[in-house]
């Protein structure tokens, strides 16, 4: 299975920090955020990673290189115009070689068993599996409704119209999808991957939710960035960072 890290965003909520450094290169416990994601992927056996670039993209490319320092192979998908999650995945589609792809957000710090996630996706023969979280403010993040069989019923109110008991969740920004879901996504046009997911739900295809119980933080605001830094310093999330070569974004 291939992996992709979404790293093209503008990071507007973290300005002025992100005026001169892309959000994925912001350090957490001295290690750039995107490197935490690379280490997570490597820990679970991923070696080929696509990273999309837009805002200050050359800085990310210069910092990470071809991935050899991490024992990985990095391919860059450069977006002169930012394409969103749907358009970004569509542009990178040729690199997936028809395989399912695991997608991570370059601005999310997470500790998750990716092997278990991918096995769940494959065993249930899902067209897509979204990592979800219990959150008392799920509606504020964007409500995802999941039934007792882990099938997603609706995303932000869109999807199936039948009324079945559901559990409220929020989307953690990590997902596995089969490339055929990208078939109707227009090339070179900004879009969200949520639209194909909703369409698949409406067609009756299997779109699953997978609960994340471990550490998760969206580094979207100065407050959450500061909290993630404290959490890493306190050992709430750890990855094998001590053997990393130094990089200076």
Lowest mean pLDDT among 106-110, 224-228, 236-240: 236-240
Distance CA 152, CA 150 (A): 6
Mean pLDDT of all residues in the chain?
89
Average pLDDT of 203-226? 90
| Sequence-ordered list of residues with C-beta below 8 angstroms from that of 167, at least 6 positions apart, any chain | 145, 146, 147, 148
The pLDDT > 90 percentage for the chain reads: 66
Q: Comparing 204 with 17, which gets the higher pLDDT?
A: 204
Residue carrying the six token digits 């970004």: 88
- Burial code of 180-204, b = ≥16 C-beta within 10 A, e = fewer? ebbeebeeeeebebbbbbbebbeee
CB distance 128 to 102 below 8 Å: no
Asked if residue 247 has pLDDT above 70, the reply is no
pLDDT tens digits, one per residue of 39-70? 999 999 999 999 999 888 889 999 999 999 99
| pLDDT interval class at 171 (50, 70, 90) | very high
pLDDT tens per residue across span 176-201: 999 999 998 999 999 999 999 999 99
Task: Count CB-CB contacts under 10 A for residue 119.
Answer: 11
Residues in the chain, total: 249
Which pLDDT belongs to residue 3? 96
Strand-pairing partners, residue 152, are 146
Instruction: Determine which of 13-17, 78-82, 154-158 has the lowest per-residue pLDDT on average.
Output: 13-17
| pLDDT for 242 beyond 60 | no
**Interval 80-131: pLDDT, tens:** 999 999 999 999 999 998 999 999 998 889 989 999 999 999 999 999 999 9
pLDDT at 165: 94
Residue 246 in this model has a pLDDT that exceeds 60: no
Residue 141 has pLDDT above 50, yes or no: yes
Is the predicted pLDDT of residue 244 greater than 60, yes or no?
no
pLDDT at 118: 96
Burial 37-56 (b: 16+ CB within 10 A, else e): bbbbbbebebebbbbbbbbb
Q: How many CA atoms lie within 13 A of 202 on its CB side?
A: 11
Higher pLDDT, 140 or 188: 188
Is-contact 144 170, C-beta < 8 A?
yes
Output the pLDDT for position 150: 96
Domain ranges of the chain: 2-233
Report the distance separating Cα 133 and Cα 168, nearest Å: 9
Rounded distance, CA 59 to CA 181, Å? 31
Superfamily in which the 2-233 domain is placed by CATH = Spore Coat Polysaccharide Biosynthesis Protein SpsA; Chain A (3.90.550.10)
DSSP labels, the chain: -EEEEE-----GGGTTHHHHS-GGGSEETTEEHHHHHHHHHHHTT--EEEEEE-TTHHHHHHHHTTSGGGT-EEEEEE-SS--HHHHHHHHHGGGGTTS-EEEEETTEEE---HHHHHHHHHHTT-SEEEEEE--TTHHHH-EEEE-TTSBEEEETTEE--S----EEEEEEEEEEE-GGGGTTSPTTS---THHHHHHHHHTT--EEEEE--S-EEE--SHHHHHHHHHHHHTTSS--S-TTPPP---
Are the C-beta atoms of 76 and 61 separated by less than 8 Å?
yes
């Amino acid at each position: 299975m291939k992996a992709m890290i979404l790293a093209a965003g503008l990071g507007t909520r973290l300005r002025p920090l992100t005026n001169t450094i892309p959000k994925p290169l912001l350090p957490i416990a001295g290690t750039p955020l995107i490197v935490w994601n690379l280490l997570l992927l490597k820990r679970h056996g991923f070696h080929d990673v696509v990273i999309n670039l837009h805002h200050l993209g050359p800085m990310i490319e210069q910092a990470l290189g071809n991935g050899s320092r991490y024992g990985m192979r990095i391919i860059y998908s450069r977006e002169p115009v930012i394409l969103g999650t749907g358009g970004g995945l569509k542009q990178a589609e040729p690199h997936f070689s028809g395989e399912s792809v695991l997608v991570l957000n370059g601005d999310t710090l997470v500790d998750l068993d990716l092997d278990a996630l991918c096995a769940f996706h494959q065993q249930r023969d899902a067209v897509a599996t979204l990592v979800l979280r219990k959150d008392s403010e799920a509606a504020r993040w964007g409500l995802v409704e999941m039934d007792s069989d882990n099938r997603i019923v609706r995303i932000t109110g869109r999807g199936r119209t039948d009324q079945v008991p559901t559990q409220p969740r929020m989307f953690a920004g990590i997902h596995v999808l089969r490339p055929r879901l990208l078939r109707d996504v227009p090339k070179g046009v900004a879009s969200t991957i949520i639209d194909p997911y909703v369409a698949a739900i409406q067609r009756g295809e299997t779109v699953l939710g997978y609960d994340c119980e471990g550490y998760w933080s969206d580094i979207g605001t100065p407050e959450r960035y500061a909290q993630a830094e404290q959490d890493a310093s306190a050992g709430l999330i750890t990855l094998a960072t001590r053997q990393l070569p130094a990089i200076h974004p």
